[in-house]
Amino acid sequence: MRQEPEKISAGLEMAFEQAVDLYHAWTPGLGEPTIQFGAEALTISGVCRLVAHFSDDAPTIVRGRINYYLDGLKDEDLREVLEQDSSYAAAANCLLNLIERRKKSGR
């Protein structure tokens, strides 16, 4: 008997939406913003890693914000991923890539 894939919890969904929002104003020199998730304070990267295995669809508005962050960047590879895959996993991996690229660029 086939088991249904695990669905993202409402709390983790909210934490990921916060991570997407916090990315916008974050600059690497300040360290990553944290989000309270249960008893833990997780970085926005940490939230992305928790979300990265959920296959259910991320809300259009969340994917739209990530696409907005891609505007003006040479990140067509990430944009293509979001266009082809609407899952939380794809959105989380794109945001995690953006975080890592921002860290490398220092801005």
What pLDDT was estimated at residue 29?
A: 84
Domain presence at residue 2: no
Domain membership flag for residue 1: no
pLDDT at 106 over 90: no
Its domain, for residue 80, covers 10-105
Distance CA 50, CA 57 (A): 15
Q: Which residues pair with 35 in a beta bridge?
A: 42
- The alpha carbon dihedral of 56, 103, 36, 20 has a sign of negative
34 is a domain residue: yes
Q: Exposed, middle or buried, 57 (CB in 10 Å: 0-12/13-18/19+)?
A: middle
- Comparing CA positions, the residue from 8, 4, 85 lying closest to residue 51 is 8
- What is the rounded CA–CA span in Å between residue 14 and residue 47? 10
pLDDT exceeds cutoff 70 at 34: yes
Number of structural domains, the chain? 1
**pLDDT tens digit sequence for 80-96:** 888 899 999 999 999 99
pLDDT in tens, 43-69: 999 999 999 999 999 999 999 999 999
Whole-model pTM: value is 0.90
pLDDT of residue 37: 92
